[in-house]
Structure 1
Amino acid sequence: MSLEKTKTNPLRSSLESVARGRYLMPVVLALGISAMAVNESTFRHSHSTLSAGIALTDARIQAAKTLQLITAASLYAHAYILSGSPDEAVHYREEVKQIHEVKQKAFDLVAQVDTERTISVASVEALVNEEIRDTDEWVNLVARGQPTAARSDAVSKRSRERRDQLRQEFSTMLMKAAEIQQVARFSLYNALSISRMAVHLLALAAVLSMFMFQRQLRESDRLLIEERALLADRVKERTAELTEMAAHLVHAREDERARLARELHDEMGGLHTSMKLEFARLRRVPNMPDKAPAHLASIEARLNEGITLKRRIIENLRPSALDQLGLMPALEILCRDMESVLEQPVQTELEPVASNKNADLTLYRIAQEALTNIGKYAGSTSVQLHLAQTGSEIRLTVRDDGKGFIPTAVGHGRHGLVGMRMRLESHGGKLAILSAPGQGTTIVATLPAQAASAAA
């Protein structure tokens, strides 16, 4: 122990003598100024490099958006060729207008960051303009009453080759932009490394000036606490905004479904009724050919199938039983209808619950999606649906004894479970998925009953 003290004391004495020396502060000040100069230089370089990288990212985003808009415009043009609907032509014109705006932004950003002109946008712009001219010609042909010519041009080999070339040119442009961005990223990493060395020098100067270090540490702690509090507030705020947006999207989708159901019922219902009346008049026409009644019966049978299909589509868009009879009868009807799809009985246990129309629709859609998923994936032999209220909580449970799955391993692109969760969370509810391979699946949806009743 004494030997260690003898070794430590001379080192401490040397440090203390240096600290008391007259050259300590000038050396510390010189180190600080040098580190600040290096840090400022690297900051400016990093700032310019980062700005160029952001501009390249924006250019790639705008280029991808341009390609997406071109695809959307082509789809609307094809839809207009096939249907002749003026709405499709209007959508097409809107997409073309956006193409010109977004395309120019993308090309301007590329020109801004690509000072050596390694990326040629002229060929891409020429192909884009040629694509728009051709699609304009298709739309004009349909408008002039020549849909056959428009379809022929739309599916021609030249059109396909041009679209493939356009995608290839965009891919090449994005690849070159990524290469430039990679070079900028490497340069930024070098600048950050130099900046790190400068920070180390500043840290050394701070170690030699303990009072400054301690004061800065206390200030940093205070700022950290404030930033954490601010970040927590922002997270709460953003969570509330996202929840509100999810609720808005769900309501907007249901409103649109209801509108489509009304349009189908009112417009197509009237057309079908008038057609049925026309068939009734035709049957009373005297001296009809011998085969005419059979043909009329066959055509009327197809009409009845169309009417049945229309009713099924309307029910899928907006279940009339839910609006007219309430949640429990609607769920009972849904389960009976799904039995033919699942090819097995659905056991139901339904109890009255305190909920409003929005909550009823949410619970109905959850049950509908869960039963649809069972029909697609479960391979079950037993399905149960249970609705009950416990205190201030409404609970809907859908259970099957099928294959099961790992809930955390559901891949991207499966939006059913995500949509169910969004619906429930938009009403203050929760979704629980209990499943494992070979052990079936249980979907539990909960909603606050008190909030649902108050909203009603």
Structure 2
Amino acid sequence: MWLNEDTHRRATQTLLEIQQGHAARATVNMLVRRLVEAESNQRGYALTGDRAYLEPYTAALESIDGLLKQLNTRAPREVLDSDAMLSFRNLLSQKIGEMALTVRMRQEDRPEVVNFVVTSNVGLEQMRAFSLQADALIAQAEAIVATKRAEVFRLLNVSRFGLAAGVLAAFFAFFLYVNQTRALREADSRQKQLLEAERDALESQVRERTARLTELANYLQQAVEDERAHLARELHDELGALLTAAKLNVARVKSKLPKDAVDVTERLQHLTETLNQGIALKRRIIEDLRPSSLSNLGLVASLEILTREFADRSGIEVVTALEPVDLDANSELTIYRLVQEALTNIGKYAKANKVHVNLKNYVYHAEVSVTDDGVGFDPADLPQSSHGLVGMRHRVEASGGRLDVNSQPGRGSRVSGTIPRRSAKQQQELAAAVSAMSADSYKASPAPLTPPDAAR
């Protein structure tokens, strides 16, 4: 850019000097012409005395004076400062002086002086010398013009070469930029591929570990249910037998007491009532551990019993709308546990006055919901130690369903679960798919899990 600007400035100055050279040449030619006109009119006046020659003579001298001023302002500095220019001015002044002397002598009527000047060769020699000096000035101006023209061409070539070099440099810089951009893009692509590979590996690990944790959680959930069922059977068989035997023994002893043993009879009656309370407590614990009504009476009856007992214990009004559903045993247990956990939370925290429990049957799924008018809560602001909703969600999702929790502080809460309906064939296919997924996650066929009953 700097080279181009400097070349442009120098070329402009050189072109101006070329114009000055042309102007100097034209001015010198015009001076010679005007001097010839002045000399012609001067001689005409000197020979004839006709004053008509004086006007063009005077005009020619005035024109010469103006042309000299133009020459001083328009000629190149090399011409103005040269010895040829000094000689040119001196010769011009001498010639003008000679013509002025002749005219003055003619005006003073001194014909002998006029004839001497006219017939002598002084004017001719001065004019010849002036013409030669004018030719020298013109040649000098033309030489300057030629030199400056060559300088202009040289500057143009320099500018052309500079422009070409700039273009080449720009192309080279663009080439470097393209290569650098390509290298950066390739590096970015490689980095992106590495990140994607790491992400895929992490996602694969997350899926694998999620599958393992899900399988473990499902196993633990099933183990808990199996342990509950085992404990319920033990309580029903062992503790039930003991309490029943004790009650029968009390009845046998009571029948053999004399009628006047009122105090003993009252104590036995109190013992019988205590045994009845123990049997009722045993029955309630068994139902909490493993609701026998679920397998004996079905889901609807079990939910009615559960809600009725909750209403009796808590004093909260419970409104039910239960439709019969066709689900497998695990799905029915999932719905039962969801309602049980929701009612437990309502009894502990909700401070509700009324609860609605709904069970709806659809073509492809069943939907259960528990709604209360209590204080509500923020689902996103639950304590870390709260696992009730987390357990419900896992249990529902393990059955292939979805759990929704809708609640706001001061506006109650609603917990709803959607459980898909599957046929026996679909259940078998799902179990096979889960088993295959687990085998892939462990890179080998998993060892069969031993339930608690089998371990015993």
Distance apart, 1:354 and its partner CA: 2.5
1:313 and 2:285 are equivalent in the alignment: yes
- Give the 4+ runs in structure 1 shifted more than 6 A: 208-212
- With over 3 angstroms needed to count, the CA separation of the structure-2 counterparts of 1:452 and 1:237, relative to structure 1, is farther
1:435 and 2:436 are equivalent in the alignment: no
TM-score w.r.t. structure 2 length? 0.52
- Distance in 2 (alpha carbons) for counterparts of 1:328 and 1:313: 20
Deviations 1:149-171 (A, max 9, x none): xxxxxxxxxxxxxxxxxxxxxxx
Partner of 1:225: 196
> Which of 315, 339, 363 is matched with 2:311 structurally?
339
1:293 and 2:253 are equivalent in the alignment: no
- With over 3 angstroms needed to count, the CA separation of the structure-2 counterparts of 1:453 and 1:395, relative to structure 1, is farther
Q: Which amino acid aligns with 1:242?
A: L
Contact kept in structure 2, 1:246 and 1:423, CA below 8 Å = no
Partner of 2:224: 253
Q: Which amino acid aligns with 1:422?
A: H
Partner of 1:204: none
- Distance in 1 (alpha carbons) for counterparts of 2:345 and 2:415: 11
Distance apart, 1:440 and its partner CA: 0.9
- Distance in 1 (alpha carbons) for counterparts of 2:232 and 2:262: 40
> Which of 331, 341, 357 is matched with 1:359 structurally?
331
Which structure is larger by alpha-carbon Rg, 1 or 2?
2
- Distance in 2 (alpha carbons) for counterparts of 1:453 and 1:413: 39
- Distance in 2 (alpha carbons) for counterparts of 1:424 and 1:361: 10
- Distance in 1 (alpha carbons) for counterparts of 2:257 and 2:383: 65
Residue correspondence of structure 1 range 381-400 to structure 2 within 5 A: 381-400=353-372
- With over 3 angstroms needed to count, the CA separation of the structure-2 counterparts of 1:453 and 1:371, relative to structure 1, is farther
Distance apart, 1:430 and its partner CA: 1.5
- Distance in 1 (alpha carbons) for counterparts of 2:366 and 2:353: 27
Q: Which amino acid aligns with 1:235?
A: V
Partner of 2:158: none
- Distance in 1 (alpha carbons) for counterparts of 2:248 and 2:380: 56
Q: Which amino acid aligns with 1:371?
A: L
> Which of 350, 360, 363 is matched with 1:378 structurally?
350
> Which of 331, 336, 340 is matched with 1:368 structurally?
340
Deviations 1:126-175 (A, max 9, x none): xxxxxxxxxxxxxxxxxxxxxxxxxxxxxxxxxxxxxxxxxxxxxxxxxx
Contact kept in structure 2, 1:243 and 1:425, CA below 8 Å = no
- With over 3 angstroms needed to count, the CA separation of the structure-2 counterparts of 1:279 and 1:350, relative to structure 1, is same
TM-score w.r.t. structure 1 length? 0.52
Distance apart, 1:342 and its partner CA: 3.1
Contact kept in structure 2, 1:355 and 1:453, CA below 8 Å = no
Gaps of 5+ in 2: 6-164, 429-456
Partner of 1:324: 296
> Which of 387, 391, 401 is matched with 1:415 structurally?
387
Contact kept in structure 2, 1:354 and 1:453, CA below 8 Å = no
Say which is worse superposed, 288-297 or 331-340, in terms of deviation. 288-297
- Distance in 1 (alpha carbons) for counterparts of 2:182 and 2:349: 67
Give 3-state SS (helix, strand or coil) of 2:335's partner.
helix
Q: Which amino acid aligns with 2:408?
A: A
1:242 and 2:213 are equivalent in the alignment: yes
Give 3-state SS (helix, strand or coil) of 1:258's partner.
helix
Distance apart, 1:405 and its partner CA: 0.9
Q: Which amino acid aligns with 1:447?
A: I
**Aligned alpha-carbon RMSD (Å):** 3.4
Partner of 1:125: none
Deviations 1:173-218 (A, max 9, x none): xxxxxxxxxxxxxxxxxxxxxxxxxxxxxxxxxxx98887665444
